[in-house]
Chain A
Amino acid sequence: EAQVTQNPRYLITVTGKKLTVTCSQNMNHEYMSWYRQDPGLGLRQIYYSMNVEVTDKGDVPEGYKVSRKEKRNFPLILESPSPNQTSLYFCASWAGAGGYTFGSGTRLTVV
């Protein structure tokens, strides 16, 4: 089954403790992206990657890092999380004319 897999689904952490949210897709897509969803704001792009070793900032990149060492994986790294990064995060890969395929989301709470 074609899918984007994110882990974990839920995460509660403390301010300043580094964390990584993993994302993997099995569709051989070149383009992958991370979005965060906040009430009243919809989804906003954090980072994207057009292919292996090619990443770039989206609209809200501050406080985040990404890497793309393999085509299938695109982890999101929060080196020093802060409470304003409490959000619902989605990884997505671009299926061409099919638009995005989204992961199930990661609900992050930073206390």
Chain B
Amino acid sequence: AQSVTQPDIHITVSEGASLELRCNYSYGATPYLFWYVQSPGQGLQLLLKYFSGDTLVQGIKGFEAEFKRSQSSFNLRKPSVHWSDAAEYFCAVGAPEYGNKLVFGAGTILRVKS
């Protein structure tokens, strides 16, 4: 079965600084990969997804992620963080043989300091 690890429970960055959130997955072939964001008291919003093709994917709100098969990673990046980016971020993985089930990581809470 697939699994996801987000090694950082909390990350604090200064406003305007760059951001990278780490995500590692365990799966034998190429999975489907997603990043979701959850603002306090809100549901989950899809930031970006990877199914196949170009390994660098662009998402909403200026986020991007790069799929690296050799490292089993799908790290999320943003060049300049805004205070409104403070939220919890979830990486998720799916696989064809598991239907539409997504397995989520434990989440990374992003704090932005001014």
Contacts and interface: CB of A to CB of B under 8 A. Distances in A.
A102 B44 contact: yes
13 contacts: A35-B104, A40-B9, A40-B106, A42-B4, A42-B104, A42-B107, A58-B101, A99-B32, A99-B34, A99-B49, A103-B43, A104-B42, A105-B43
B24 to A, nearest CB: 14
Interface of A: 31, 33, 35, 40-45, 48, 50, 58, 90, 94, 97-100, 102-105
A95 B43 CA distance: 16
Interface string B39-56: 000111110010100000
A23 B16 CA distance: 39
Contacts of A97: 49, 51
A interface, by DSSP: helix, strand, loop or mixed?
A: strand
Nearest to A42: B104
Q: How large is the interface on B (under 10, 10 to 19, 20 to 34, 35 or more residues)?
A: 20 to 34
B31 interface: no
Nearest to A101: B46
Interface of B: 4, 6, 9, 32, 34, 36, 42-46, 49, 51, 90, 92, 99-102, 104-107
Contacts of B34: 99-100
Nearest to B41: A105
Given A31-B100, A42-B105, A98-B49, 13 more contacts: A41-B106, A42-B4, A44-B104, A45-B102, A48-B100, A50-B99, A99-B46, A100-B44, A100-B46, A100-B100, A102-B43, A103-B43, A104-B43
